[in-house]
Structure 1
Amino acid sequence: MHQFGRGFIVLGLMLLLTACSDSPEEEFIDRMDQEHKGDTPVENAAKDLTQSAEVSGQEVTYATVNGEEITGYLAKPEGATNAPGIIVIHEWWGLNDNIRMMTDKLAGEGYSALAVDLYNGKVAESSDSAGTYARSVNNEEAVDNLTQAYGFLADKEGADNIGVIGWCFGGAWSLQTALAHPDKIDATVIYYGRLVTDTEQLKSLQMPVLGIFGEEDEGIPAEQAKEFETALNNAGVENSIHIYEGAGHAFANPSGTRYVEKAAEDAWQKTVNFLKQNLQRE
């Protein structure tokens, strides 16, 4: 074959491989880029949401990943010991004040809530930097990070029952944490995060799953949320999936421009009830 012709074939194969090499994580972040285009965190409305009890919060070193200490935010009910634990996973903005406030709210419901940091101290102020930080996350290191968060709550905080919750980028990692530890996590909450719809993969899950989604979310379409529900049902996994009309991606984030108050408050009450049922059992 003529050298020129072979060159075009090789180039074509390279382009094909490149087009097919995008991982589900990369595709998800690409969609988040579009969903959050021009978006920025705004004045935090989480401070106006009802908190059930007084809590204490502090920065803690909960893990060492690849030789680097990882600092998160731990909130607990005042005077509580051996409370059930919750791993709290931030959105693609990072571990910011909104996540700390939501962690306080979870602690106010009776939990030792640990907000992890998958960005190693970086917090995004724009959608461009958020996308950059999200793409920089190494999957193996993230799983190690979250595994050590579980160990911190179990060993240092004495939590017998431990759940996981995350929003957006964190919602994806909430599900991944459950899949990494299907026999340890006791409850999983996913707010509009990247999903797994393969029944065989989901069969390993031994905990109930709560899924919160927006009907107008183009990053995690309602059809995909329904596929997730069907796959969970086929896998025999207890689940409760809710799709909110008139709500888009990140509708439950009170520090974002997409906040939908009525849907967010209803989703929060469902979250509180779900966690209480599955983590505060005797």
Structure 2
Amino acid sequence: MQTEIRFPAGNTTLPGVFTLPDGEGPFPGLVMIYEAFGMTDEMKRVARDLAADGYATVIPDLFARGLVRPLCVARVLRTVFTGRGQALDDLEAARRWFAARPQIDADRIGTIGFCMGGSFALLLARTGLYKVSAPFYSTAVDVPRACPVVASYGGRDRLTRGVPEKLSAQLTALGVPHDVEVYPDAGHSFYTRTPGLMGELAKRSPLRAEYHEPSAQDAHRRIVTFFREHL
């Protein structure tokens, strides 16, 4: 079941998408952070796929705060680089709303994110509030402490060159369980399909961004296996 919701966030409410598996709960849950394209049908599709494996999700619409969308997008992206900002407060508000649902096991909440959202997933991994983090093709984020991490990157993606090695070294030094995989034939955004002109431009960019089915399928298998062990 997938429904549109609103959750309290400071002095306002923000929209989001709440997805539940079939059957009886409470279910383990994932706070999902979308890529820079925002709340697309692909992000909703990913949430439904995770629900089929038994994981509830909430996708907060971080770009919905404020009247001028480009400014809101810029503020959220700035948080990726600074590690500070309203977006982190909004994610915490979404997590609290999510954890309070009777269908959710509040002691078994992780996070998953894509591109911009992957960097947020690593920021959240440092908070001590999540059991597991699954960043996809995130840019470099220092992790002075972290929950278990399962990370996925494309070997043809110039944007994240060197990032998986750095992340794996940091997690090894911390003694944190992790699975960091680089798919040599995949580029950026290999897990999702980017439609239309934006998708065509992304394919031709240095990101080599396009859906790569073998890598996407293996990444899905890996994250679910990791979740079953750590979430």
Partner of 2:206: none
- Per-residue deviation at 1:136? 3.0
Contact kept in structure 1, 2:9 and 2:94, CA below 8 Å: no
Give runs of ≥4 in structure 1 deviating > 4 Å.
none
Q: Does 1:193 align with 2:133?
A: no
Partner of 2:202: none
Q: Does 1:151 align with 2:96?
A: yes
Distance 1:112 1:251 in 2: 23
Q: Does 1:251 align with 2:198?
A: no
Tell me how many residue pairs correspond in the alignment: 208
Task: Give the counterpart of 1:267 among 194, 216, 219.
Answer: 219
Q: Does 1:120 align with 2:28?
A: no
Q: Taking structure 1 as reference, are residues 135 and 87 closer, same or farther at Cα in structure 2, changes over 3 Å only? A: same
Distance 2:213 2:65 in 1: 29
Aligned amino acid, residue 145 of structure 2: S
Contact kept in structure 1, 2:191 and 2:212, CA below 8 Å: yes
- Per-residue deviation at 1:204? 2.4
Q: Which runs of 5+ in 1 are unaligned?
A: 1-55, 123-128
Partner of 2:125: 178
> CA offsets, 1:19-46, max 9 Å, x none?
xxxxxxxxxxxxxxxxxxxxxxxxxxxx
Q: Does 1:89 align with 2:28?
A: no
Contact kept in structure 1, 2:139 and 2:163, CA below 8 Å: no
Contact kept in structure 1, 2:14 and 2:64, CA below 8 Å: yes
| TM-score normalised by the chain length of structure 2 | 0.83
Q: 1:6-85 counterparts in 2 under 5 A?
A: 56-65=1-10, 67-85=11-29
The structure with the greater share of residues assigned to strand is 2
Task: Give the counterpart of 2:180 among 236, 241, 244.
Answer: 241
Partner of 2:153: 213
Q: Which has the larger radius of gyration?
A: 1
Q: Which runs of 5+ in 2 are unaligned?
A: 80-84, 200-209
